[in-house]
Every structure is written in C-alpha cells, then in structure tokens.
A and B are shown apart, each in its own frame.
Chain A
Amino acid sequence: MKNYKKIILAAGLVGSLSLAGCKKNNFEDPFNSFAPETAFTTPDRIEKASVGMYDQLQNANFYGGWAIIFPDIRGIDALANPYFGQMPMFTTLQATDGTVASAFRGAYRTIYEANLFLKYFTPNADKVSAEKANQYIGEAKFIRSLVYMSLVNLWAQPYSFTADASHPGVPLVLEAADDPFATSNQIPRSSVAEVYKQLETDLLDAASKLPTRQGNEFNYVARATKGAAQALLARLYLYKGDWAKAAEYADLVISSGAYELNASPVTAFRSPYTTAESIFSVAHNGGDNPNTNNALGQHYGATRRGDITVSEEYIALLEEDDLRLTDLIEFTSSAYYTTKYAGGTTDWVPVLRYAEILLIKAEALARQASGVDATAISLLNEIRERSNATALNPATKEELIDAILTERRIELAFEGQGIIDFLRTGRAIPAHSIVAEQPWGSNYVVLPFPKYEIDKNPNLVQNPGY
C-alpha cells in the first residue's frame, strides 16, 4: 500500500517534470515592441513609421529645443544660467562637455531615424500610392536636411569662412548602417560646400515631392510641406550668401499664398500654433513627457526653470511700444524673460516662420541692389509695423542691411538664429554678460566635436583649439 502511494506520487511528479521540460511556454515574444520588418507591411503601418521620424525630431537633445537654444545662448540676446554648463562660453568649453555630446548624439539619432525609414521604405514603396511615396521620401529628406542645417552651422565655420567653402563641415551620414561597428561608419567631415550641396539636392527633391498641403491644419505646420522645403532652401541660400536664390525661394513661399503674417506677433507662439504665419514647427503637446527638463518653455519660461534670461542688449534694440517688448518680454525678479514659450512643456518649436521669409527676401534684395532697395524697405517695415514699431527709411544700402539684420535679431530672437547671424555675416560676437568678445573666425565660435567621437573615428578631424 505504502509503495503504491510512493509510486503514484513519483509518477505524477516525474510526469509533470517532463512536461515542464518539453514545453517552453515561459518564453514569450515582446508585448512592447516588434521586428522592424513588421512596421512596413501595410500602408497604415508605413504611415505610422513615417510619423516616427517626427517623434525623433522631438528629440529632447536636439530639435525638441536645444537646436534652437544653443545658437541663441551663444549669441548675445539670450543669457543662460549654469544649467547649460559652458555652452554659452567660448574658451572654457571643452570637447568632453556633456551638453555638446548629448546634442551631437541627438542630432545624428534623428538623422538615423530618417535614414532607416528610407532604407526600410524603399523596398516597400509599392505598397503605397505614388503620391504617398513621394510625400514620405520628401519628409525624410526634409527632416534630415533640417538637422544637418543646424549641425553644420553649430559645428563648422560659416559658408563664407573660405572662399569656396572648402573648410571642414560635418560628417554626412546618408544611409542607416547595417553594422554599427563597421569601419565604413568612420565617416570624415565633408566640406561645408559639400554639406550645403547635399542639403540643396535633398531639399530640392523634397520640395518637388512634398504636397503643398496635406490633411488638416495640424499637418500644415507639424509635418513637412512643399512650402517648408522651399523656406528652408531660402534660408540655406541666405546662409550661403547666394542672394538671388534666397530671394527666389523666399518668393516661391510668398507667392504660394499659403502663408501670411498674423495680426499680432504673439499669435504664432500660442496654441493652436497652426496659424498661417507658421511654415514648419515641431509640434508638442501634453502627451510629450510633461515634466521634461528640456522643453523650450521650461528653460525660457519665467514661471518654469527660467534658465535663460534676455540680455539688456536685446531690450535696448526695442522701441518702447514695440509689441515684441510689451507683449513678448516680461520683467520679473530683476531680469527679462521672453514669453514666446509660455506653454511650459507644450510649446511647439518654431522652425520656419513667414516673418523670417519676408526678412530673407528683404536682405537678399537689399544685398543685390546697387542702391537702397525699396521692396526690401517695405518688407522690413511690414514686419516692424505689425508690432507697432516705427517704420524705418534707411538712407544707404549698408544702413538698410544693418536695419534688416537688427530686425532679424528683434523678430527672430530665441528662435535659433542668434550666433549664426553674426557668423554668416562676418561679424565678431560682441562681449556680453560675462563673456569676452570673440572675433570672427575665432576657433571657439564653433562647437567641438565630442571627444567620444574623435577617439573612435580616426577620420574625424577636431575643430582647431579643442
């Protein structure tokens, strides 16, 4: 009797043991992710994968805000507290700086998303309509170009630094790597001219492929459009000093009729962020990590972290009744703050605004004209009068150009033009706050490549001085 019991028990246990051994029901596929191929199997999924590129454009360390903030705090109108480390400084910024590394890494992370999309999408392009296929390719190229535009202007001397722009730019990565550790990834810096050429090619392709408008008002501004690609081209030509092309592409945007200035300079910076003044912005909402430290509103907002204040130099540019002073600047706790980013963590990142296009056209015309260009003056005053600033009537070409550059500082302040406008126009960075003057051409006006990258890529040449 006793033995039977023993045998039954043992048989039961051994039986279940062998069951447990055979069936691997404890190995499960992920619930939170899937294989990349899965993302490109249907038109609907491809659409979602294209949206993923914009999610990466929200990258907290680049186009989610930093790509806009860095040119400004390295310029003279925005002053940053030590949160940004040595970023606003010049001679004490090192190649080991963590902020520099994060931004550089964030930029290429976004580029990878666009490249990877192109790589997976190309063999699946026939799954969607030709129109959609064009749109996706245009979007990928626009996003990639936008990031490169910031990269080349932060990490390399301006186009005009050498006569043929043959000085080093940034590494051009245009394909997603299969093997992250292959030596083929050790890409050297292309020259600034090569980078601009690539961006021009990509943006022209994007402009030809992208729709003028797609979907709803959200998509008009938050996703790439033909107008956005043309506007970025106008900026590219301006930075390059190709005034004729800058004017031409500014005109294409203007003549599209899709965009106009809002009655108030404030409107473009307030919800729903989709007025006809905004050509392209990186959208954000309350679903995007509500307490992120890297949002524009966190850094600029007086009631938030308030890391960035507005300099006395900037205030001095503005007339007393200028709406950009009365409605877009607040004075509190003995410092000035911009109110362009009032939404805390939900502000859209303004990338291309119609006001910039008007000023690009004005500058391009002013520079091309032999004398004082009347259209340029009227464009300048269109911007000024919208904000209750008195109309100007510059007497000479030089005065007009100066006035336009000053107007850019006023109008486009805190939108990522800061130091770039000084550098592309051959001007020194004036001494300001606790920062000493940096002459034009100084080694320190461009960011160092992260030491991390220099150490691993023997083909990457560091900027001099770091």
Chain B
Amino acid sequence: MRKMLCMLLCMVVLAGQLLAQTRTIKGRVTDASGNPVANASVVVKGTTVGTTTDEDGNYTITVPDNARAIVISGIGFTAAEQRIGTNTTINVSLANSKEADLQEVVVVGYGTKTVRENTGSISKIKGSDVAALPLPSFDQAMAGKTAGVQVNATGGLLGDRVDIRVRGINSISSSSQPLIVIDGVPQIALSNMNDFNSGQGTRFNPLALLNPNDIESFEVLKDAGASVIYGSRAANGVILITTKKGKKGTVKVNVDSKVSFSKAANMPDLLNGDDFIAINNEKAANRWGAGTVVARESDVDGDGVNDRTDWLDVLFRTGFQQDHGVSFSGGADKLSVFGSVRYIDMEGIAYGNRLRSGQARINMDVTPNKWFKAGTQISYNRTLNNGVMSDRYLSGTVTSGFQAFPTVSPYNPNHPTGYNLAETSPIGTLGWGNNSRAYNGTALFPFNYYNPLAGINTGRNDNTAQDLRLNAYGEITFLKGLKFTSKIGVQYMDNWEDQYTSPYIAGLGTPFNGLVQENTQYWNQWVWQNYLSYDRSFGAHKISATAGQESQYNKWKYRYIGASNFADPFFTTIIDGAYTNVDPSSDELYNLTGGDITTNGMESYFGRLGYSFDSKYFIEGSIRRDAFSGFGRNNEWGTFPSVSAGWEVTKENFMQNVRHLNYLKIRGSYGVVGNSRGIGPYASRSLYSGASYTILNGFGVAQAGNAALQWESSKKFNIGFEASLFKGDRINLVFDYFRTNIDNLILDAPALYTVGIPGSTVTTNIGRMTNAGIEITLNANVIRTRDFSWTASANFSKIKNEVKELVAANNNQHITSGVSVAAVGKPLGTFFIPRWAGVDAETGNPTWYAADGSLKMFDPNTQSWSDGKGNEVSALGGADYVYSDKSGLPTWYGGFDNTFRYKHFDLGLSFFFSGGNYLYNGTRANLLSNSFSNNLEEIKNRWTTPGQKTDIPRLYMLDNTANSASTRWLEKGDFLRLRSLSFGYNLPQSVYNRIGFDNIRVFAQVFNVFTITKYSGSDPEVNTNAGSNIAVGVDTRNVPQPRTLTFGVNLAF
C-alpha cells in the first residue's frame, strides 16, 4: 500500500510538469451499486498522467489535448477504459474484480471466511436488495432473491406470518422454519406472536420487528457443510443476519423516506345486487317450487332507495403508508458506531388494518488496543398493529365480507351505533332487511353474517409487540492468529393482544354485554457463547480452527385477563368498577384470567477445523454436540458432524489455457444436522396437569410422553460449483445439487382415536423423507458501457420431495391435514380427495367417480345416490377418496432480477416465479355455496336446461354436497409475477454538492405489478394454512395481496 501511494504521488508530480495544451476532465467513480470509490487511480491511457479519486469518488484530471482515453482502476475492481472524446465530465462505474469478490467476507457461524475459502453452500443477499420493498418484514422481501429459498406470505394483512423454506420442507409435524441468527445470536424460535383463536386469529410475524435498513447482509446456510455448526437446529437451514457497522474514517448520515399507496391486486368477482336476488331466489325455487322468494329488496339505511352494497368496496381501501428512517455511521481509529431510528405507519388494504412501528439501534465497536476488541449491538422496537379479523372468523373481512348480502346497507341510522345490526335474534349480527332467514323453520344462512364494518369501528383487535435485543462481545487476541471470543445475547420480547367487542356486536359482544380479552406473552432468552479461533498460514498451508461452547435458556410466560358485562358501552377497556364479569343471562361469574409458563435450555459444544493448501485445495470438518431439555431423557445429547471440501480448479496449471473460464471452484459436503424446532419444552414426558371441574380442583393427563424423543436428523449431501466466465467476469454461475435424507422424523404420530391419549398423538421419531434438487444462480453483466449498464441475476431451484416412511404400526397410513396428506411414496401436500366427474348435462346433478371408476351421482331432490343410470349406489364415501397425484408443494421456483442504468437513471425489474404445484381453491368452493349467500359471478353459468354443458350444478338451496372436497377445486398453481418495478434517479453531483449533500436519490416503485397465472383465485401465491407442512397450497378466503406504489428519497450527507 505504501508503495502504491508513493507511485501515485510521482504521477501527480509528473502531471504538473506537462503544462502545454491541456484540458480538465471531472467525474465520479462508483462501484456497481453506485457507492463512491475512493483512491481509485485515473490515468491517461498510454501515459503516466494521472490522479486519484477523493473520499466521495470525485476526481479532476488535466489531460493533454491529444489524449484519447482514460483508464480507471481501483483495488478490488476490474480496470475500466473510457474514451474521452469531447466530454468534460466522465463518470465511471467499476465492476468488482473477481479477486475482490473472492476476498469478500461471508459470515459463517461463529466466524467469517472469504468467498474463496468457503466450502459450504451459502447464499448471500445484500440488505439493500430487500430494504426498498414496501413490506413490514424482511423475510417476505427475500422471495425470489436467492436459489433454494422459498418464501410464502399468508395473505395481504400487515405483519401476517410468513413461511420461509430453505431447500423445501424438511419436516412433517415439526416446524420447517429456518433458524434465524442475528449478529451471531440465535433468535427466539417463533413464527407468530399472537395467540387468539389458537394463533389463527390476527397473526403477527416477529421478524416484522427488525428494521430491514439496518441489515448489511443475509447469509443463508443451506447445506450441512455450512450449517452444521448450528447442530440440532440446522436442518431447516440457517439465516444469518448481520447488521451494519460504522466504517472507519467516515461520518455519514443517511435519510430514507418513502410513501406508498397500496390496493388489493385482485379481488373475487362477486354478484351485484340484482343478480344476487335472482340467483338466490332460483336456489329456493328449485328446492321449494317456482315462486318461492327468499331474497328481497330492502332499504335498511332509509334513504328511500333499495340498498346496494359492494362489501369489497366497504371493507377494502387504498392504504397509505409512510416509512422514514435516519441512520448515521462513523468511525475513528478505536471506535466505530452505527445508529438508526425509523418510524413506519402503514395502512393495510383491509379497512381497519394499520401498523405503526418505532425502531432504534446502536451498534458500537471499540478497539482500545491491538489485542482487544469489544462491542455491543442494541436494538429496540415497539409496534402497534391494528389487526382485523380475517379468514378464521365468521365476522372476518373475507368471511362475512365475501358472502354478505349486497342488498343490505352496512348502515342503519335507527340503530344506536348507526350500523345495520340485527335487533332480533341473533342480535348484533348483520341485519338482513326483508330477506328470509329461514324457510319453514329451516335456517338458510350458511352462518350468521356479521357486519364487519361495524365490528371494526366499534371494537379492537390490536397487538402491541416489543423486542429488545442486546448483544455484547469481547475478543482477545493472545497470539498471532489465536483469538478468544465471548458473546452474550439477550433477547426480550413481549406481545400484548387487546381485543374488545362492543355489546352491540354478536358473538363476543352481545352475549357478554361487551367483552375485553387481553393476552400477554413474554419471551426471554439469553445465549452465552465462548469460543477460540485460530487462523494461521504456514507457507502454502493455512489452518483455521474454531472450538467453543454455548449455553442457552428460554422462558415463556403467558397471562390472560378479561372483563365482561360493562356498565356502559362508554367503557371499552378494563377499568375498575366499570364491569361485573357476570354472565347477563345466568348470573354466573366468568373467570377470565389464566396463564402458563414454560422454560427450556440448551447446552452445546462445537468445533470446526479447516485446512487449505495453496489457496487451491480446501477441506473442513465441523462438529456440534447439543443437549436440549426438550429431548427425551434417553436421548439428551445429539452429535452432528459434517465434512466439506473445495477445489479451485482454475488455479491448476492445466487450466491456464482454458479460455473464457476465469474461475471454477468445485465443492461438496456431507453431514448430519438436526431439527428440534417445534419440539415442545416437555414433549418427551408423560404429564399430569391441572384439570379443574368447575369448583373442584383436579388433575388430568396432559400428555402421553416418549422418553426416547430426539431431534430429527437430516443427512445432507451437496455438490456444486462456482464459476465465472468471459472477459471481465461477465457471467457468474453457481450450481448445486443437493439431496437430503431425513430420518427420525418428529411426527405427531397419530394414534388410534380409541387409544384416547390427549391430542391423539405422541411426538415420536418415526418416518423418513427425502428432498432432492438443483439450484442454479446466474449473474450477468450483460452490458457495461460508460453511460449504460445492464446487470441481470437469475436463480432457479427445482426440488422433489418424497415421504418414505410413516408410522409402521399404523400400516404406514398417511397423515391427513384437511384435504392434504403426507403419504408414503408421494410428496408432502398430496391432495387426497374424491374425483369430480362434472355436472350431468341432462339433470344438472353433480357427479363423482367412485374408487372403481364408476359414476356416483347425487340427486339433491331425493337426497339419493345413483350411478347416473337410475341404479342406486352407496353414498360418496371414504372409499372413494384417492391420491390425486397432485400436490400443493411447488416443485420449482426462482427469480429473475434486472437492473438497467443509464447515466443518472436506473430501472429495476424483479420477477418471481413458482410452480409445479396445484392449489385447492377453497375460496371458490365457499363462494359457490348453495346456502343463502352472495356468490361469485361465475355462478351465473349454473346448469339450467337439459343438455347444457357446465361445471356448476343446478342450484338447490342449502345443498352443498357438490361443494364438498373433490378435485373440482384443484387448479394449477404456476405463476410468474413481476414482483417489483422500480425507477430511480440520482441527482447530478453538481446539484447535490451545491446544497451540501453527498448523494440524493429519488425513486418510484410498483410492487406486485402483475401476475401471469391460470389460477382463478385472487392470488396463486397463497398459503392459508401457514405453518402446516402438509396442508400446503390451500386457498381459503385469503386476504388478497396488495399492489403498492411507492415514492421515495434517499439523502446522504
């Protein structure tokens, strides 16, 4: 380095001597992502005339008139040549040199490595790649960004839970979520912080509590070679998140501000009022004879005209969102600091849905002397989420909201609340105007409709989450290369759910005369790591070793309280004296309090030994031993080893003459990792617990245990290569083949119901499954000229899942979840349902295929089954269920990102695709209901006349046999989505320098631009049963995904 500077100095001196016939050129040198490159050299081609860039990448050079071109080079970059022509300003973007890329640091567990040394399968995503998207949590933004990682959002509600799957689903009954590690500290394993309705009510993803702008990078550890250091928690992959640090010698302030508008991208197409009346009266007339009328015009809001309500218009909206963040970073010799604050306020597309969050972080590192280093990372987040009831509630925006009558108003000026709420039984449901609730005593509604608008405006469904993360570490270097690190990470989270239902609203309101329910959960974790690492080169030999120990303790506490029967609707929260807790109809006192507490602990030892020769051959072995308190007494300790190796082929002499191949590394790994996530803290034990019988205290069996319970073990094999091709490393390619054999699957093994144990399951290690596939990542610098560049990045993953063995004692019987099963020899999520045979053209009756392929027709008139030729047959039954050979699990997915830069403008297109799976369109099954409800427009194609070919049977009030589970509702799930389209403009330097800034960027972005799919539902990226490994690909009244338009500005000074 010293040498180099000296040389540059010489050049400057020389330049000063050539005075005659010169002109001045100015410009700025940036890297591929637009950051300034300091100390780059700018030299007139063919001369020694040159200069260097300053801190901000700016340079000024005086060149001779006859100079044709300048050459710009910097350490870690590929040199670039630019023609001068008549330009006086030449801005240059430098590409990283391969060598620099290979020296880039990747974070691995308990340490770092260079890309060159890495022998595992690790994908790195830059924080900046995900920070710009208008999403509350970073995990959603990872979709399509890297091979082997699949991200599935549950729906379009803010903060809803997200499923992340690294190389497929690696479990059946346990969690398949990866381990998240932030700054070296494993995070509390949690996918949903909310608990109402068994966690299926309003849901909240704890990862929404991490500011994506604070993230420097993610590393996804995919194979055993990379992840085994996390032992019994590594089978689902590990996501390492590294937050930003201050950089030495700089002080920077960044301001990021954006506003967004979002709207549902797609909605079900529902009947209008007139069609609704006609269709529902036809249902009734077909059942009870012509002229039967159940649907009538009403004027509930009293405006003198018949009510017409588009409930989707009432319950969905254009949400406005704002997101403002300020961060500062800086560093001196012995101290570096990064800090940030952020405030977001997002309105969801669903009326009433809003999320507000305040976040702050300070990361500090001190290096008081050469042998000691210490630091802290402290972050705090507090979020208020105004949730709305959705798919799992009758009162939900997508339940009552989809099926409520378009012929009654949401409003009724005569009701005390101003809303249309029934004043006769069932009091507080949506008033039905002049429509019939029952016909001859038979109820017609599929369920009691609620007025979701009234519910949202008179009640609360909030949760307030807090997350405090405190890490502190110290590092001592004893000898050259020998370092001791101790790190403590404390994470504290709590979540307070606050639900209030007004006495005017049915369900939880009227029967209780107002009800407040509050749940509070507290999660506490500490992790303490101590490890030694040794890195030393001896000539061509390099050794790196790590050995250490980790302890972890987790505690979860749960409390709920409530209040009912309020003195007045004025009181909407727990206020002393303002409620009685008495059941208004029986004078019984409600006990609305309760709680629970669990703890678990983990003890681990780990080691890693790497050796490389000549930076060409690499081999590494790792091992971890974990003891987890949730494992059975007989199997408390698990051992997880792996070995991996790499060979940089292009360093061999025989490769020197191979053209166009600049770099090729072949690497492979094999190892055993475990999955313990989802094992209850005491899952191995047989337990008795409190079981009171009204006023009597009692004990009852709580769990049938299994003392042999242990981790799931995944044997992971991975082989792949990394290559760069063509001049200037124009194309970079990464390829991996992987095969995961999972055995000792932790199954909630289903026991016979007649055995009678709690939950009918025992957490047991039985069964085997495999996931095998390939991953390809391709990065290309397609075009790179002075003013224009195009970089493209594509990734593709193909994966095949197969269940190999289940519970032998149950005859390997498949395990069912909803309409899907885990069955031996088939992929997870295979649909197991009867085969739909369509609508009989003569009668309009629904038909199915029996197991033997014969026809079964149901005649709703007589409620009888026939073979369609007049012969009676048995009802469609369990025997007619067949494996559909269609699974809800995608078999291929990926992404395709393009960035175009022209002068100060940039354009980004990010595609995301997935497919090979089928979706069960339960929403369609619900919305073609024969009960008295609103329907899809599609229902107008119903059978009406003999000979008519259609897929919708003759309407027949209340008979929903044709809507029961069958292949009628399966549709292909393939899709291609333009996930984001962004357009940015970096203001010219002359402008921002004048007003004292380092950089000003404005941008606009559309998120979820369009989707190409044959799927008829609102969104093919659907996952109603979040967290389920079996019932995947089911669409049951999902809140549609939003389409979002964002405008933003980044300022740096």
Residues of A within 8 A of B (CB): 2, 6, 9-10, 13-14, 16-17, 20-21, 24, 26-28, 30-36, 38-39, 45, 48-58, 79, 81-83, 89-96, 101, 104-105, 108-113, 115-116, 171, 173, 176-177, 180-183, 185-187, 218, 222, 270-271, 283-288, 290-291, 297, 301-306, 309-312, 332-337, 342-347, 433-436, 443-444, 448, 450-458, 462, 464-466
Contacts and interface: CB of A to CB of B under 8 A. Distances in A.
Given A52-B701, A458-B811, A31 B858 contact: no
Nearest to B427: A303
30 contacts: A2-B369, A27-B603, A35-B685, A36-B688, A36-B701, A38-B688, A48-B699, A51-B698, A79-B442, A83-B447, A91-B863, A92-B961, A92-B964, A108-B753, A109-B760, A180-B755, A286-B581, A286-B583, A287-B692, A291-B515, A291-B517, A302-B425, A305-B507, A343-B583, A346-B588, A434-B959, A435-B863, A450-B753, A453-B754, A456-B810
B511 A462 contact: no
B964 A94 contact: yes
Contacts of B958: 82, 434
Contact of B629 (A27, A90, A291, A337): A27
Given A45-B699, A94-B875, A285 B588 contact: yes
B688 A6 contact: no
A91 B866 CA distance: 12
Contacts of B750: 452, 456
B530 interface: yes
A435 B687 CA distance: 45
A332 B681 CA distance: 50
B652 interface: no
B954 to A, nearest CB: 15
A101 B753 CA distance: 9
A178 to B, nearest CB: 10
Interface string B587-616: 111111000111101110100000000000
B698 A344 contact: no
B476 A303 contact: no
B448 interface: yes
A105 B753 contact: yes
Interface string B452-492: 00000000000000000000001010100000101000000
Contact of A448 (B693, B751, B878): B878
Contacts of B865: 91
Contacts of A49: 688, 698-700
Given A96-B878, A333-B426, A452-B816, A283 B694 contact: yes
B583 A345 contact: yes
Interface centre among A16, A81, A343 (most CB of B within 10 A): A81
B440 interface: yes
Given A79-B443, A105-B753, A183-B809, A33 B878 contact: no
A54 to B, nearest CB: 4
Most chain A CB atoms below 10 A, which of B443, B507, B510, B699: B699
A168 to B, nearest CB: 14
B874 interface: yes
Given A26-B552, A112-B757, A20 B877 contact: no
Given A48-B698, A187-B754, A346-B588, A20 B528 contact: yes
Contact of A457 (B426, B564, B629, B752): B752
B17 interface: no
A465 B878 CA distance: 10
A33 B700 CA distance: 10
Contact of B751 (A58, A181, A462): A181
A54 B807 CA distance: 32
Given A24-B627, A51-B697, A82-B446, 9 more contacts: A21-B603, A32-B596, A52-B701, A53-B700, A90-B863, A92-B863, A176-B756, A180-B752, A287-B694
A82 B681 CA distance: 39
Contacts of A332: 424-425
B422 interface: yes
Contacts of A91: 858, 863-865, 875
A303 B697 CA distance: 31
A299 B426 CA distance: 11
A13 B694 contact: no
B443 A309 contact: yes
A462 B445 CA distance: 33
A466 B878 contact: yes
B876 interface: yes
A251 to B, nearest CB: 31
A81 B447 contact: yes
Contacts of B603: 21, 24, 26-27
Given A13-B486, A180-B762, A284-B694, A30 B685 contact: yes
Contacts of B562: 290
A290 B816 CA distance: 30
Contacts of B438: 309, 334-335
Contacts of A57: 693
A96 B964 CA distance: 11
Contacts of A436: 862-864
Contacts of A284: 694
Contacts of B590: 286-287, 290
Nearest to A438: B863
B440 A30 contact: no
Nearest to B591: A287
Contact of A180 (B585, B757, B964): B757
Contacts of A271: 586-588
A347 to B, nearest CB: 7
Nearest to A304: B511
B682 A111 contact: no
A310 B438 CA distance: 12
A179 B758 CA distance: 14
B371 to A, nearest CB: 6
Contacts of A52: 688, 691, 693, 698-701
A436 B814 CA distance: 35
Nearest to B760: A105
Interface string B748-770: 01111111111010101000000
Contact of B688 (A35, A182, A302): A35
B745 to A, nearest CB: 15
Given A10-B476, A36-B686, A30 B681 contact: yes
Contact of B549 (A21, A81, A448): A21
B691 A55 contact: yes
A10 B422 CA distance: 74
A116 B511 contact: no
